[in-house]
């Protein structure tokens, strides 16, 4: 128990120091001349790469090995959530002054994608606290923030109720892009599983990846995953710039949700008959993908929002 506390404190202290250094660097950069500003960049910072690698390692070593068992039993994966909390991957949105890491929307979405790669159900359970935290972060008093947010950083608790204050803001600004990041993680997993299988399975004397029909299928899957990633990252970036991101968040959510289903279905196709076998991972990915076209605003609702935003801009 003591070792866990020391480890957790060390990890969080290191992340907070990095966050502070990044904030200082950002402030310095913003005060420099426009000519030296890099603007929009596809490069991740060293800190973001560390977040990404930590979440990626956790997904592959802690989530993937136990996901099938939890899928069958239906048990709540609290042991996994506790491990994620000890590593600082829960409550990332909570500001540093209340014991959290104060991560940006972009940073948290990077983590979301990596966790979803392991299992979207566990990723949702790990990050569900954000829906309960955001109303407090946005509209809570200092005393409320210390009371409720502080408790979440002191022990691995999960939010069991969501305040109604500013809930619409949370749902329409934060949730869609984080859901899009999760859908992208699932799609990346489906692509990776299909690619690995296609490089191993042989027909007519060669691996099926060398058949044009299969290689074209994999190419289409790769195109969709890359574009979905760019969509959610743009939506997250807009928020971090302090701008309204409704248009981009809905595009990200609608597109990523659709391609998660398409890529998972294509992965099953690559696996052939084995795609239906629970001994292979793609049948679960196909089951898990459907929720991304339903919750946090259906695919149809997202299109309604996109059309409204698009036409509103055209009329100005």
**What is the predicted pLDDT for the residue at 174?**
53
Q: What is the pLDDT of residues 32-77, one digit of tens each?
A: 333 444 566 789 999 999 999 999 999 999 999 999 999 999 999 9
| 148 and 85 within one domain | yes
Dist CA 149 CA 162 (whole Å): 13
E strand or H helix at 192, and its extent?
helix 175-198
| C-beta of residue 269 within 8 angstroms of C-beta of residue 262 | no
What residues does 207 pair with on adjacent strands?
A: 202
The number of folded domains in the chain is 2
Which of 162-171, 181-190, 225-234 has the weakest average pLDDT?
162-171
| 174 and 300 within one domain | yes
Tokens at residue 104, please? 């940006």
**What is the predicted pLDDT for the residue at 137?**
82
| 172 and 159 within one domain | no
Burial of 136 by CB count in 10 Å (0-12 exposed, 13-18 middle, 19+ buried)? buried
- Please identify which of the residues 200, 279, 296, 309 carries the catalytic annotation: 296
Nearest alpha carbon to residue 194 among 92, 286, 310, 89:
286
In a domain, 18, yes or no: no
Percentage of the chain exceeding pLDDT 70: 82
Averaged pLDDT for residues 174-183: 88
Dist CA 114 CA 57 (whole Å): 9
Across the chain, mean pLDDT equals 85
Q: What is the pLDDT of residues 15-43, one digit of tens each?
A: 444 444 444 444 444 333 334 445 667 89
Dist CA 111 CA 300 (whole Å): 27
Averaged pLDDT for residues 182-208: 97
CATH number at residue 52: 1.10.540.10
| 271 and 143 within one domain | no
| 310 and 172 within one domain | yes
**What is the predicted pLDDT for the residue at 162?**
45
Domain C-terminal end among 134, 165, 196: 165
Identify which has the larger pLDDT, 213 or 11: 213
Confidence of residue 149 (pLDDT cuts 50, 70, 90): confident
Domain C-terminal end among 150, 165, 180: 165
Residue 7 clears pLDDT 60, i.e. is over it: no
| 147 and 200 within one domain | no
Dist CA 36 CA 152 (whole Å): 40
| 157 and 250 within one domain | no
Domain that holds residue 187: 167-315
In a domain, 220, yes or no: yes
| 107 and 194 within one domain | no
Tokens 């954000």 found at: 130
Percentage of the chain exceeding pLDDT 90: 63
Residue 155 clears pLDDT 60, i.e. is over it: yes
Domain C-terminal end among 112, 133, 165: 165
| 115 and 182 within one domain | no
CATH number at residue 255: 1.20.140.10
In a domain, 9, yes or no: no
| 176 and 70 within one domain | no
What backbone phi and psi angles, to 5 degrees, belong to 39?
Answer: 65, -140
| 226 and 260 within one domain | yes
Averaged pLDDT for residues 114-131: 90
Identify which has the larger pLDDT, 299 or 138: 299
Residue 296 annotated among the catalytic residues of the structure: yes
In a domain, 159, yes or no: yes
| 265 and 255 within one domain | yes
């Amino acid at each position: 128990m003591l070792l866990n506390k020391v480890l957790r404190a060390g990890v969080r202290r290191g992340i907070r120091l990095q966050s502070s250094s990044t904030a200082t660097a950002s402030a310095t950069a913003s005060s420099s001349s426009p000519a030296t500003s890099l603007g929009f960049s596809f490069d991740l910072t060293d800190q973001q790469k560390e977040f990404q690698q930590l979440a990626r390692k956790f997904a592959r070593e802690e989530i993937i090995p136990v996901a099938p068992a939890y899928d069958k039993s239906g048990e709540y994966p609290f042991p996994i959530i506790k491990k994620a909390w000890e590593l600082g991957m829960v409550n990332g949105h909570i500001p540093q002054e209340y014991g959290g890491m104060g991560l940006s929307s972009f940073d948290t979405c990077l983590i979301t994608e990596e966790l979803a790669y392991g299992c979207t159900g566990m990723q949702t359970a790990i990050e569900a606290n954000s829906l309960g935290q955001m109303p407090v972060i946005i509209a809570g008093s200092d005393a409320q923030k210390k009371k409720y947010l502080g408790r979440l950083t002191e022990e691995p608790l999960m939010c069991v109720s969501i305040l109604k204050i500013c809930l619409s803001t949370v749902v329409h600004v934060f949730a869609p892009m984080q859901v899009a990041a999760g859908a992208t993680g699932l799609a990346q997993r489906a692509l990776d599983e299909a690619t690995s299988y296609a490089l191993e399975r042989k027909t007519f004397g060669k691996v099926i990846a060398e058949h044009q029909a299969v290689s074209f299928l994999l190419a289409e899957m790769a195109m969709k995953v890359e574009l979905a990633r760019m969509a959610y990252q743009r939506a997250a970036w807009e928020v971090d710039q302090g701008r309204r991101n409704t248009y981009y968040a809905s595009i990200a959510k609608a597109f990523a949700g659709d391609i998660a289903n398409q890529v998972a279905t294509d992965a099953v196709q690559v696996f052939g008959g084995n795609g239906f076998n629970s001994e292979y991972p793609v049948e679960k990915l196909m089951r898990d993908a459907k929720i991304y076209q339903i919750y946090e605003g259906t695919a149809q609702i997202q299109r309604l929002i996109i059309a409204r935003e698009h036409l509103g801009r055209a009329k100005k």
